[in-house]
Structure 1
Amino acid sequence: MGIRRLEDFNTVFRLKSIWLIFKESGSLWVAWLKRHIFKRKGLWGTKPSPKHSWGIRKLLMFKHKAADFLHCRLGDGNTALFWHDNWTGLGPLIKYVGVEGPKLLRIPLYAKVKAASKGLEWNLPGARSDRIQVALTRISAIPVPSSESGKDCFEWKATATEYRDTFSSSATWKLIRQQAPVVPWHSMIWFSLSTPRLSFIQWLVLLHRLPTRDRLARWGLLDNPMCVLCQLAPESHSHLFFDCCYSRDVWIPFASACFQSPPLDVDQCSSWLAAQPQARSSTRKSFAKLILQVAIYLIWSERNARIFKGESSPAEKTRLTLDRFARDIILSRKSSTSAHPWSLMDDWLLVTSTIQIL
């Protein structure tokens, strides 16, 4: 559908604030946090407190999620924390080794990585557990911190396997969101000429979630499930879009002007559009999607008008409304090849020139 969770956006913004703390961007806010809030323990060792502002408490609540995105490329070892920063690729060593790690390796809990080296060698005791052995093996493969290597550089996860020295909101959002399988009709919902109001109705139609009369009858809310547009068959999604003679008279003339053999079942429209030759104009395919959206919206509106207002319009008038509706949308957009909306309108007039609207 394209609707995004505000909770995910909020998470991304919090994570970006945490990234600024490690980026050394020269921010006065970051300098104040380090001096007055984090102090010697840094972000990882600071716990939320009632003394902190609401914003800082929220920031500290997201630090554990940020740990999964941060990686430190070791330089001189004077910035990265040995136990809390991910500089080995194993994640924070305090989590990997356990709380007994500082005692077993004789490295203080908030010590810098530099404290684990002596001269040009690592200065660490022997392993006392399998996990410590793995950690020491990994550390031995990392160059010893040196001033010649420059400062420690923090990186942010861009993909499942790649870290970069810049923060990307879109990449972070893709990593934290719950992904669902891509549906074949997604391009019919969102395209260059789509309108959110129409897209929402079409989305409900493709999921068969509109309160059609056959569904209302199954729920015991209605006695007569017959279609109010034709009175010839029960009103279902498949019948209403576009097996009904009324909706067929609205849909077929415009759809046929774009491509041959338009389907009478809305569930087959995605395969119908996908089957069109690539050599055909992409503008024509966008028009077919626009016609589908507007037709669904107007047919559903006509159905509701007859039920709730007692008003009805002939198919000819609905076709005229569809044409005007589509023209208004086209005039509000810009062509991909021209800055003037009239270029799109010229294409629309050419495609619909053979249609007998009235």
Structure 2
Amino acid sequence: MMLGDGRTTLFWDDRWINGQSVREIAPMLYQCIPKRRCKTRTVAEGLDGNTWARDIQGTLGIHEIGQYLMLWQAVQHFTLSDEPDRLLWRWTASATYSAQSCYAATFQGSTRCHSWKLIWKSWAPPRVKFFHWLANQDRCWTASRLARRGLQHHPRCLLCDQDPETIQHLLLACPFAKQTWYIILDWAHIPAQPPANEITMMDWWLRAKAQTPPTLCKALQSITLLV
């Protein structure tokens, strides 16, 4: 927020103090301000005769008093102008809005799924894609996930009775899964080796893709999900 005449900038909620709001600078003091006042008090009104100090209600403790003094010092050097307040777009160097920067901002803090192409670019039905998306996030209700939540579960895989039941074990490491992979790959004439010691489905798919002719890669991708 670029402060001008202060008539549209909210004193308590907007970021007008060196890119920060009063709520961020003095959070405990902010709790002493009525919500209705936070939504209506402008900077122009608040700085006029230090009217903002009259918004504070309730009993102040030592921390609130300390933040009050800090805020008092922070706002003393501000002077208003005749220019209107102006919003600054934080996602570009020029502080001006663009559709490209807005689109990029929507992905801030997101986590990239490295297996998205394997899952969503295949010929598999939507419900199969959704299952593998859950499996990739370890969101399927296997025995290991039940154990992490303290729920009743079987100690070992019900198919092989050898190892704990994790999603990686069910899809890749279980002897029954390996046998199924071998039969399907042989039936489809795909010259890729069945899963061996890969940690995730994506690891095996990358290895199998390198062993498969380009004309069969799409088939491998779909079979990987359908099996």
TM-score, normalised relative to structure 1: 0.36
Q: Which amino acid aligns with 2:185?
A: W
Structure 1 197/114 Cα, relative in aligned 2: closer, same or farther at 3 Å? same
8 Å Cα contact 1:81-1:111 kept in structure 2: yes
How do residues 85-234 of structure 1 correspond to structure 2 at under 5 angstroms?
85-88=14-17, 89-93=19-23, 95=27, 97-98=29-30, 110-116=40-46, 124=50, 129-140=65-76, 144-147=79-82, 150-154=83-87, 168=102, 171=105, 185=115, 187-191=117-121, 193=123, 195-203=125-133, 207=138, 209=140
Deviation string 1:12-40 (CA, Å, 9 cap, x unpaired) is xxxxxxxxxxxxxxxxxxxxxxxxxxxxx
For residue 255 of structure 1, report the CA deviation from its aligned partner: 7.4
Question: Whose helix fraction is larger, Structure 1's or Structure 2's?
Answer: 1
Partner Cα distance (1:276, 1:250) in 2 = 13
* TM-fit CA distance, 1:77: 0.9
Check the 8 A contact 2:178/2:195 in 1, yes or no: no
Q: 1:186 to 1:240 in 2, by over 3 A?
A: farther
Please name the residue that 1:256 is paired with.
190
Please state how far the C-alpha of 1:262 moved relative to its aligned partner: 4.0
Change (3 A) 1:242 1:136: same
For 1:288, the equivalent position in structure 2 comes to 220
For the aligned residue pairs, the C-alpha RMSD in angstroms reads: 5.2
Percent pairwise identity: 20
Please state how far the C-alpha of 1:273 moved relative to its aligned partner. Answer: 3.4
Give per-residue Cα distances to partners, 1:127-180, cap 9 Å, x unaligned.
9943233324433565x2212xx3223457769xxx8757958845866xxx7x
- Larger strand proportion of the pair: 1
Specify which structure has the bigger relative contact order, considering alpha-carbon pairs within 8 angstroms and separated by 6 or more residues.
Answer: 2
**Are residues 1:78 and 2:7 paired?**
yes
- Aligned partners of 1:255 and 1:291 also within 8 Å: no
Distance in 2 of aligned mates of 1:174 and 1:187: 21
Residues 75 and 151 in structure 1, CA contact (< 8 A), matched pair in contact too: yes
Letter in 1 for 2:127: R
Structure 1 unaligned regions, length at least 5: 1-71, 103-107, 213-217, 228-234, 297-358
Counterpart Cα distance in 2 of 1:137 and 1:282: 68
CA contact (8 A) 2:159 2:176 kept: no
CA contact (8 A) 1:194 1:290 kept: yes
